[in-house]
Amino acid sequence: MTSQAIPAQEQRHYTLEEYLELERNAEFRSEYDNGKITPMTDGTTNHNQISGNSYIALSLGLRRQNFRVFIADVRLWIPTERKFRYPDVMVVAGQPDYYNDRQDTITNPQVIIEVLSDSTEDFDRNGKFTLYQSVPTLQEYILIDQNQIAIHQFFKTGHKRWTIDQYDEQDSELVLKSFDLKIAIADLYEKVDFVNPS
């Protein structure tokens, strides 16, 4: 999902508790940046379809294994940066570690998937990846383009060391590296409309 800043005259510093209370009753989700609240903009049907396809493929592929898959409405707390984010899809190995025992906020994803949005693509590729790298449990960061078959997969190989694999229409499977799973790229893009994206 994407974010849209509140006009400057409406901005003020919010505590973590104020933000979480606002989110509890909010009609629309917002992200938190060390005191600043940024409402998230609406997604597209392609964005939604790919997120759902990813969640289904992971849930089916990891069924009866010690993993949990979460989508969209579960927050990620990044303590080193004092930020809350809503990744499109997250995979947790074992049990979730909750922020302050809140079952809507976790701290220990092993895999994060983001579907690229036109308005935030550069940030998703660079700024958001830098932010997510501060999460100690993260092993894999996957970016999926919603306008064409294009996937970038980052995998942690050591301290501050990541490799990248790229997939396009010539590839048939996305090969997860932090656990044994292959997902057909056709499944990730099922019912995605590149001709009339909306």
Measured CA to CA in angstroms, residue 172 lies from 153, 156, 188 at distances of: 15, 23, 11
- The owner of tokens 């609406």 is 42
CATH superfamily of 43-188: tt1808, chain A (3.90.1570.10)
Domain boundary assignment for the chain: 43-188
Closest to 36 in 3D by CA, of 17, 19, 20 = 19
Average of per-residue pLDDT values in the chain: 90
Name the more confident of 116 and 10: 116
Q: How many C-beta neighbours within 10 Å does residue 21 have?
A: 12
Give the model confidence (pLDDT) of 88-138 as tens digits.
Answer: 999 999 999 999 999 999 999 999 999 997 755 565 666 889 999 999 999
Greatest pairwise CA separation for the chain in angstroms: 50
Closest to 168 in 3D by CA, of 147, 139, 191 = 147
Residue 100 DSSP symbol: T
